[in-house]
Structure formats: structure tokens, C-alpha cells
Amino acid sequence: MIPYLHLWSLNVPTFGLMLWLAAVAAAFVMDRGFRRAHISADAVGMVAVAVVAGIVGAKLWHVIDTPAEFREEGWRVLRDSAGFAWFGGLVFGISALVFQGWWARIGGLRTLDLAAPAAAIGYAIGRIGCFLSGDGCYGLPTKLPWGMSFPNGIEPTFVPVHPTPLYELVAGLFIGTWLWWRGSKTRGTGAIVGEYLVLSGIARFLVEFIRRNPKVIWGLSNAQLASAGSVAAGALLILWAATRPARVPEKLSAPVERIA
């Protein structure tokens, strides 16, 4: 693995580099989505704010999720380049996008629809950073031919394990592509982000069965419980969107009023 790129006198963490590339890719996809919907708001700026909020949320949720680590390391854990929780990043990132969508008079829920493909693709690219750095988010030991060891990772392992970041990379790219295609179809506001919550929640729920995270209740990890909540919320959004007037993206004009 390559936790750091050594460029002259600089040690560039590959996790941070891939996080930056994920933000760039997400900004590009969301900007294209705004253009397709004929919305003139600053998609790149919205993604930048959401990324910062997501990083803060992911780190804070990791601290809550692993209190033993916090008791051992104290506030230093917040400065660690590893240790980011998917659910915290999702909640804080969504909150930032909703506020910005409301502020830009696009509508919070409408903004989430436009951001859903970008979020899925950005998450997928970010997982490459987890893989390259070997930060410990890989899976259980396996005898499958594609099992990998991470002897030089930030949290090394010397036995072949499931390369779960690569599984999530594939799932994220598939989900992002599906949502982008769905975004070109007639649908009610909230349907796309509802599908994102369902699909990403299912993907994370399944991959947790072969990850090393501890189980907390009913044989499920914290991430699986959060994923189940994501799926439930997404299903409710899809059902609610089905009762709303359908929106045809190619006929949209620049927004002039706040949309629910």
C-alpha cells in the first residue's frame, strides 16, 4: 500500500489526495447536473461547503462510535488522518446541502436530488484513498483469490483480507451512474435522493458483514444500524415523492421561487 507519496521533501497522504479528487469529481458531476436542470447556482461552492461539513461530521461520529479510542488518545484523535465514519459524514453533508439549497432558493430537497449522483461518485473515489492508505477499513480474513494483505498500511495486516474499499468503489460508481441516468427522467422531488439513501444504505449494510467493525446489537454493527435507518428514510422519501407532481428536468428554467 502507499499511505504517503514522497515528493521531494513532502510527504503527501494518499487518503487526503483521494479525498481532494473525490471532491473535484463530485463538484464536476453536480455542476453538470445543475447545467442539465438549467440552474445557475454555484454547484462547486456548495460541494466545497458540504465536503468540509462531511469531514467534520465523519470525524465527530467516529469519536462517538469509538469512545475507547477517544479515552486512550484524547482530542488527538480529531487530528488523525484515519478514522472517519460514513454516517456522520452523510448527516453533516446532507444538512449543509439542505441549508445551501434553501439559501439559494432552489429548495433543500431539490438540491439533494441534484447532489445524489455526485455524492455516490465522490464517495466511491474517496474509498480509493482508504485502500491506498490501508487505514484499517478493510474486511475480515479471506481465502478468496482476490484477498489482499496491507503490510505497509497505517493499520497493517499481514494476512489476506477482503479489500472492502474496492467493493465500495464499485458499488458507489454503479449507484452514481444509475442516479445520474434516473435524474434525466420525469420524477417527483425527493425521488432521486430517496433512491440514493436506499441503494447506498443497502451497499453499506451488506459490506459490513465482511468488515472488522464490532457488533453492537442483534449481531449488527453501528454502521449497519445507521444503514437500516438510511434505507427506511429513503423508502419513505420515494413513496412521498410518488405523490408529488412530476418534474421534467429538460424543461426546467432558472429557479425564481423556493421549492419544497
The DSSP-derived string for the chain is --SEEEETTEEEEHHHHHHHHHHHHHHHHHHHHHHHTT--S-HHHHHHHHHHHHHHHHHHHHHHH-HHHHHHHGGGGGG-SS---HHHHHHHHHHHHHHHHHHTTS-HHHHHHHHHHHHHHHHHHHHHHHHHHT-S--B-B--STT-EEETTSSS-EEEEE--HHHHHHHHHHHHHHHHHHHTTS-EETTHHHHHHHHHHHHHHHHHGGGB-PPEEETTEEHHHHHHHHHHHHHHHHHHHHTTSPEE-GGG-----S---
- What is the structure's pLDDT at 256? 40
- What is the structure's pLDDT at 186? 76
- What is the structure's pLDDT at 1? 67
For residue range 38-59, what is the model confidence (pLDDT) as tens digits? Answer: 888 888 999 889 888 887 887 7
For residue range 162-187, what is the model confidence (pLDDT) as tens digits? Answer: 999 999 999 999 999 999 999 888 77
- What is the structure's pLDDT at 257? 42
Q: Can you list the residues of the chain whose pLDDT is less than 70?
A: 1, 3-4, 61-87, 245-260
